[in-house]
Amino acid sequence: MLRILLVSFVLFGAAEKVGAGDTATNAPTILVFGDSLSAGHGLANGQAWPALLERRLKAEKLPHAVANASIGGETSAGGRARLPAALDRFKPAVVVVALGANDGLRGLPVAQLRDNLVAMVRVAKAKKARVLLVGMRLPPNYGSPYTEEFARIFTAVAKQEKLPLLPFLLEPVANDRANFQPDGLHPVAGAQPKILDHVWPALKPLLKPR
């Protein structure tokens, strides 16, 4: 079983950061829509995994741009309210939905999380965007009934909506305290390439032309 070091944290802090997708371009855009784990809390500009994704795309000679509309502290309800405007702004070809951690850490009802995730997926699909759903896992101190039900929500939504699923964003770094900043909550810059390498195999198939 994966031993999660994030024992009691609340995701907070980072303001919105937007990459190349905020500029005028005809390139297809990947919209990263998450919380502080994707916004790059505590990191310099260009260090978070979505910024590294831009570099990966260039190295792979793929035409896509990246818009990182992640905000620290965001819940699925906040994301649900905010997503339509982001879709209109960036007109993404692909949306990476990486929300839900703050719902779990605040003990919010998992049924609410499911409803919000489904709503975000469907509004993105209605705009003809492909969607990658990125899940999270909770620390064991939240109790096995809640943590297990929380984890199952991402799988259930992905199955229902026929989506690719990355079950746990932090899987490659969660076992090592050295991968985290002094707050014990947010991955350091050196852990970001590992996160990107974890995301990439799930994301790359969505970048193929329709």
Residues designated as active site = 36, 183, 186
C-alpha 182/C-alpha 68 separation (Å) is: 24
In angstroms and rounded to an integer, the radius of gyration of the C-alpha atoms of the chain is: 16
- Sign for the pseudo-dihedral over CA of 144, 149, 153, 156: positive
